[in-house]
Amino acid sequence: MAKHCSLLFWFVFTVLSLCSTETGARSGNFPSPITGLIPRSLYDSMFLHKDDNACPAKGFYPYESFVEATRRFPAFGTTGNMETRRREVAAFLAQISHETTGGWATAPDGPYAWGLCFKEEVSPQSDYCDSSNAQWPCFPGKSYKGRGPIQISWNYNYGPAGRALGFDGLRNPEIVANNSIIAFKTALWFWMTEQRPKPSCHDVMVGRYRPTAADLAANRTGGFGLTTNIINGGLECGVTGDGRVNDRVGYFKRYAQLFNVETGPYLDCENQRPFSSN
């Protein structure tokens, strides 16, 4: 009888432990794998000026929000060998740094120390509503301008991002500029999600990208430059010496050095045709 009681106690203890672990993981009590790749000290050294008074987003991008957002995308920074993981995280951080940069050529600590300086587009030229998109119709009076680390824009991005992440992207797009965890989640959603004919930036940076015949004809070669094509190729790719592309590459080179990892080839998209021009 004592043996049976011991077994029963062990079973109950195991079940309670598992339940406790599951609850703790959901509530954020357990560390995210990303903290092993990018501890707070490295994050702070990358974004030296994000909390300066000169940055409109001062205080909006804390380390804790970035870490919490990565829990929603467990493959981010955990795919492939350690070199691949570091390169992907460096590439992601470089892209969001350019999208939110407050740097300039003679800025203190250099132009690539000013990422995460803005949380929304300052002077949008439109409300970024594609009225022809019936699947994700614009809500009256709402602007789908660039917001968050990746500067997500257009109703056809806000809609599916909101559906995937649990907020109403069409009726409440402003939440991306008001909630730092959601802001980081939208950036990671865009990075991790394939939107055909575009591959995901994640697949490109971890070596899973397999170019189609159209990709080969457009010279869309895997590498950091292709992530730029995915993000803003219609405006920046196929252009000689584009300053925006060079800024993205500059951030990537700095971060790759901080991660002690090689950047890999094909850093720009100068010779690539954007996806929209197939």
> By percentage, how much of the chain surpasses pLDDT 90?
87
Judge if 99 and 126 occupy the same domain: no
Pick from 148, 146, 98: which is nearest to 126 by CA? 146
Task: Mean pLDDT check: name the lowest of 23-27, 55-59, 116-120, 153-157.
Answer: 23-27
Judge if 165 and 226 occupy the same domain: no
Whether 17 is covered by a domain: the verdict is no
How is residue 53 written in tokens?
């008074």
Full-model pTM: 0.88
User: d(Cα 143, Cα 76) in Å, to the nearest integer?
Assistant: 29
Judge if 106 and 129 occupy the same domain: no
Domain, as residue range, for 153: 120-179
Whether 111 is covered by a domain: the verdict is yes
Whether 60 is covered by a domain: the verdict is yes
Tell which of 131, 150, 179 closes a domain.
179
Residue with tokens 């509503």: 129
pLDDT reported for residue 32:
82
> Containing H/E element for 90?
helix 82-99
Residue 134 one-letter amino acid: A
Judge if 205 and 145 occupy the same domain: no
Mean pLDDT score, 116-137 = 96
Judge if 159 and 200 occupy the same domain: no
Whether 6 is covered by a domain: the verdict is no
User: d(Cα 151, Cα 181) in Å, to the nearest integer?
Assistant: 14
pLDDT band per the 50, 70, 90 thresholds, residue 10: very low
Judge if 110 and 202 occupy the same domain: yes
Is residue 154 within 8 A of residue 128, CB to CB? The reply is: yes
pLDDT band per the 50, 70, 90 thresholds, residue 276: confident
User: d(Cα 92, Cα 77) in Å, to the nearest integer?
Assistant: 10
User: d(Cα 23, Cα 37) in Å, to the nearest integer?
Assistant: 24
Reduced to 3 states, what is the DSSP secondary structure of residue 231? helix
Pick from 158, 46, 39, 31: which is nearest to 93 by CA? 46
Whether 9 is covered by a domain: the verdict is no
Judge if 83 and 138 occupy the same domain: no
Tens of pLDDT, residue by residue over 228-259, are: 999 999 999 999 999 999 999 999 999 999 99
Give the domain CATH number at 260: 1.10.530.10
Handedness of CA 120, 122, 127, 129 (dihedral sign): negative
Whether 24 is covered by a domain: the verdict is no
Judge if 224 and 168 occupy the same domain: no
pLDDT reported for residue 21:
34
How is residue 136 written in tokens?
């994700």
Judge if 95 and 230 occupy the same domain: yes
Judge if 104 and 138 occupy the same domain: no
**Average model confidence (pLDDT) across the chain:** 90
Judge if 205 and 278 occupy the same domain: yes
Does the pLDDT value for residue 136 go beyond 50?
A: yes
Whether 257 is covered by a domain: the verdict is yes
Judge if 34 and 110 occupy the same domain: yes
Domains: count for the chain:
2
Whether 269 is covered by a domain: the verdict is yes
How is residue 54 written in tokens?
């000169």
Tens of pLDDT, residue by residue over 28-41, are: 556 788 999 999 99
User: d(Cα 76, Cα 70) in Å, to the nearest integer?
Assistant: 7
Pick from 227, 239, 270: which is nearest to 90 by CA? 227
Give the domain CATH number at 163: 3.30.20.10
User: d(Cα 257, Cα 263) in Å, to the nearest integer?
Assistant: 9
Residues with catalytic annotation?
99
